[in-house]
A and B are shown apart, each in its own frame.
Chain A
């Protein structure tokens, strides 16, 4: 985007802000608009629909120690112009009411509920229910408020949640613990015969309170390692996203070589994640041969990850200001050799998988997500690209070293499981090409900048394209640690789309369709409730009782 175009766009946002009597400021790619809460709905409509922005997330912040107010930051994304639009509004602590924008921006549904659960912000004109916190958590305790200590343990009486009962349709529960699921998640599928007519999702069984921990227990550099543990598959994405947010807020210089190494590690992570997903998809379809061979190819990616970073997963090489491990010539040679082999082998395998008639028939035209619904829900990543939304953060808001490489963004229009499969297959080849380009152009120089100071109360929003879609980290800096750290994992935006995908689908296609968004529930949930004795407790839904209820 050229500079005159950018000035025009910024001028437009300034006009919007002024027309709603709001203040306007911008730094680099982030526009901050502060408006009165009564104007929030109108400005949200203008930005989301007229300016054609996506909704990334909203962040509730307890600013009472600073100014006595609770604040809500809605983050919109103008991907076409490479901008983040933050709309800030504040409300009094005594009567914390903010108008809901869910009916205008359906994508804001969950994050409003989360702000309600964790900060006690009340949203007008919508139904409010518990999303993140368990049902037995005391009503008047909001964990993310600054007056609640991070190690606070309320005395609770554990209770279970009621499951849905219906006289018209049969209810098929999946989860929270199920041999076929890798993480705790709970779906209720309402079926009529073989057809699914409605879906209910109850997640957040593994909300670990990581954000509170980061705001109170750790230091800036330690959070890199904590963030890496948000997800078991795309952990490095979170580490990079967090440090980029702090780097943006504090204006820290990152050496070019460090940015290249970050990009290389991110692409390796994408490769392993997509190969893992293709294997799992084959496994769910009963084609275990494909699963075994996909994971065999993935193993060589894991080995180069270990070679470059020192660990197969949770690489642990990222710090604010750069990376901790350098790459030498020997390693480059070995990685290139492995990539050649992986590319060849993967091509052969994909040709075979797509020639199995049972596979192609089961993934074609199942779990369709139409483009309009995808737009409404602001879905991200391969799910968006398979439904015809051309969005990829690596290209739209380049970070790390993505501005130095050429790559295609695969987009398909059919929105079914096959399209999502194809997007991921194409991305594997693109990733291999990106790593090759990065390795051959690796600049010389240091990899870590240790000399920086982080000023207080600066805002940083950072985006990273994870294998599952865009990952958003929002940081307000504080003294020695962030004042507020908000994580929005990609699956957070994609799960609501499952409702659309599953409706009208047959029951047998449900497992694959759920898997087709490549869900990552721990990312999305971020809690473990640990009781006094240190035992993990999850939501108490007794599967045996449930069966009796359904009888």
Chain B
């Protein structure tokens, strides 16, 4: 009888029955915990770029075009790690369990959020985004005059003020 022991697999096979799922006619294959594609809420996003810095495969990118700033998301590069979800300061990025992303049109894989950039009150150049400026004003008590200048003008202003002060000291 021992020679025929391997036939016991038939018992297991009958007990287990069919394990192949009738995808896609059956409910989702993935659990609630599954990390899939991300969604960016245009209304909440402030264009700060925290997600871009955290993103390991550069699926998220910032592009600057004159007075607008574009946050680009390319699903083809995404590794679905949700680091962007972790780091987003305004919770604008939400993870979904969407994984059926195959397409014959590459533009389906691109998403973009367009932001207006601020205009510097001094040099009239563009910097940051309008929404990020509002966010900063709400979050920290910095004078509006200060955040209304671009980083370059802010830096120059600071250096100039130090120089002036120094000069004053030496003059005495």
Asked if B86 and A303 sit within 8 Å, CB to CB, the answer is no
Is residue A306 contacting chain B, with contact meaning CB distance below 8 A? Answer: yes
**CB-CB contacts of B53-86 with A at 8 A, as 1s and 0s?**
1101100000000000000000000011111001
Asked if A352 and B56 sit within 8 Å, CB to CB, the answer is no
Give bound CA distance, A312 to B164, whole Å: 62
Interface size of A by CB at 8 A reads 32
Q: Which of A225, A306, A316, A352 contacts B31 (CB under 8 A)?
A: A306
Asked if B35 and A226 sit within 8 Å, CB to CB, the answer is no
Is residue A349 contacting chain B, with contact meaning CB distance below 8 A? Answer: yes
Asked if B56 and A310 sit within 8 Å, CB to CB, the answer is no
Asked if B5 and A352 sit within 8 Å, CB to CB, the answer is yes
Asked if A303 and B79 sit within 8 Å, CB to CB, the answer is no
Give bound CA distance, A290 to B6, whole Å: 10
Identify the closest chain B residue to A289 (Cβ): B9
**CB-CB contacts of A270-307 with B at 8 A, as 1s and 0s?**
00000000000000000001100100100100010011
CB-CB < 8 A to B33: which residues of A? 306-310
Asked if A352 and B79 sit within 8 Å, CB to CB, the answer is no
Give bound CA distance, A232 to B54, whole Å: 23
Is residue A357 contacting chain B, with contact meaning CB distance below 8 A? Answer: yes
Query: Given A225-B81, A299-B19, A348-B12, A355 and B5 touching (CB < 8 A)?
Result: yes
**CB-CB contacts of A337-352 with B at 8 A, as 1s and 0s?**
0000000010011011
Asked if B81 and A352 sit within 8 Å, CB to CB, the answer is no
Asked if B31 and A303 sit within 8 Å, CB to CB, the answer is yes
**CB-CB contacts of B14-35 with A at 8 A, as 1s and 0s?**
0010010000000000110111
Chain A 302-332 interface residues, beta-carbon cutoff 8 Å to B: 303, 306-311, 314, 316, 324
Interface of A (DSSP majority class): helix
Asked if B56 and A222 sit within 8 Å, CB to CB, the answer is yes
Query: Given A293-B12, A296-B16, A349-B12, A355 and B79 touching (CB < 8 A)?
Result: no
Is residue A218 contacting chain B, with contact meaning CB distance below 8 A? Answer: yes
CB-CB < 8 A to B13: which residues of A? 289, 293
Identify the closest chain B residue to A311 (Cβ): B35
Give bound CA distance, A349 to B5, whole Å: 11
CB-CB < 8 A to A296: which residues of B? 16, 19
Is residue B3 contacting chain A, with contact meaning CB distance below 8 A? Answer: yes
Is residue A66 contacting chain B, with contact meaning CB distance below 8 A? Answer: no
Q: Which of A225, A310, A345, A356 contacts B34 (CB under 8 A)?
A: A310
Give bound CA distance, A333 to B56, whole Å: 33
Give bound CA distance, A324 to B54, whole Å: 14
CB-CB < 8 A to B8: which residues of A? 348, 351-352, 355
CB-CB < 8 A to A308: which residues of B? 33
CB-CB < 8 A to A351: which residues of B? 5, 8
Asked if B86 and A324 sit within 8 Å, CB to CB, the answer is yes
Identify the closest chain B residue to A303 (Cβ): B31
Query: Given A293-B12, A316-B80, A352-B12, A311 and B34 touching (CB < 8 A)?
Result: yes
Give bound CA distance, A474 to B34, whole Å: 32
Give bound CA distance, A327 to B12, whole Å: 32
Give bound CA distance, A311 to B81, whole Å: 9
Q: Which of A219, A293, A303, A316 contacts B81 (CB under 8 A)?
A: A316
Asked if A218 and B12 sit within 8 Å, CB to CB, the answer is no
Is residue B2 contacting chain A, with contact meaning CB distance below 8 A? Answer: yes
Identify the closest chain B residue to A287 (Cβ): B6
Give bound CA distance, A352 to B5, whole Å: 7
**CB-CB contacts of B115-155 with A at 8 A, as 1s and 0s?**
00000000000000000000000000000000000000000
Query: Whole-angstrom distance from the CB of B93 to the nearest CB of chain A?
Result: 15
**CB-CB contacts of A345-387 with B at 8 A, as 1s and 0s?**
1001101110111000000000000000000000000000000
CB-CB < 8 A to B82: which residues of A? 310, 316
Query: Given A222-B56, A226-B56, A352 and B6 touching (CB < 8 A)?
Result: yes
Give bound CA distance, A325 to B148, whole Å: 40
CB-CB < 8 A to B81: which residues of A? 225, 316
Asked if B56 and A218 sit within 8 Å, CB to CB, the answer is yes
Give bound CA distance, A296 to B82, whole Å: 29
Q: Which of A221, A290, A306, A357 contacts B30 (CB under 8 A)?
A: A306
Asked if A352 and B35 sit within 8 Å, CB to CB, the answer is no
Query: Whole-angstrom distance from the CB of B9 to the nearest CB of chain A?
Result: 5
Identify the closest chain B residue to A325 (Cβ): B33
CB-CB < 8 A to A348: which residues of B? 8, 12
Give bound CA distance, A218 to B6, whole Å: 52
CB-CB < 8 A to A357: which residues of B? 3
Asked if A225 and B56 sit within 8 Å, CB to CB, the answer is yes
CB-CB < 8 A to B3: which residues of A? 357
CB-CB < 8 A to B12: which residues of A? 293, 345, 348-349, 352
Identify the closest chain A residue to B57 (Cβ): A225
Give bound CA distance, A355 to B4, whole Å: 8
Give bound CA distance, A474 to B15, whole Å: 49
Identify the closest chain B residue to A357 (Cβ): B3
CB-CB < 8 A to A356: which residues of B? 6
Asked if A355 and B2 sit within 8 Å, CB to CB, the answer is yes
Query: Whole-angstrom distance from the CB of A526 to the nearest CB of chain B?
Result: 17
Identify the closest chain A residue to B4 (Cβ): A355
Asked if A293 and B9 sit within 8 Å, CB to CB, the answer is yes
Query: Whole-angstrom distance from the CB of B101 to the nearest CB of chain A?
Result: 15
Give bound CA distance, A225 to B33, whole Å: 19
Query: Whole-angstrom distance from the CB of A348 to the nearest CB of chain B?
Result: 6
Q: A221-B83, A355-B5, A357-B3 are in contact. List 6 more A-B contacts (CB 8 A).
A: A219-B53, A229-B79, A308-B33, A310-B33, A351-B5, A355-B8
Chain A: residues with CB nearer than 8 A to chain B? 218-219, 221-222, 224-226, 229, 289-290, 293, 296, 299, 303, 306-311, 314, 316, 324, 345, 348-349, 351-353, 355-357
30 contacts between A and B (CB under 8 A): A218-B56, A221-B54, A222-B54, A222-B56, A224-B56, A225-B83, A289-B9, A289-B13, A293-B9, A293-B13, A299-B19, A303-B31, A306-B30, A306-B31, A310-B35, A310-B82, A311-B80, A314-B79, A316-B80, A316-B82, A324-B86, A348-B12, A351-B8, A352-B6, A352-B8, A352-B12, A355-B2, A355-B5, A355-B8, A356-B6
Which 7 A-B pairs give the minimum distances between C-beta atoms?
A355-B5, A225-B56, A310-B35, A222-B56, A316-B81, A356-B6, A355-B6
Chain B: residues with CB nearer than 8 A to chain A? 2-3, 5-6, 8-9, 12-13, 16, 19, 30-31, 33-35, 53-54, 56-57, 79-83, 86
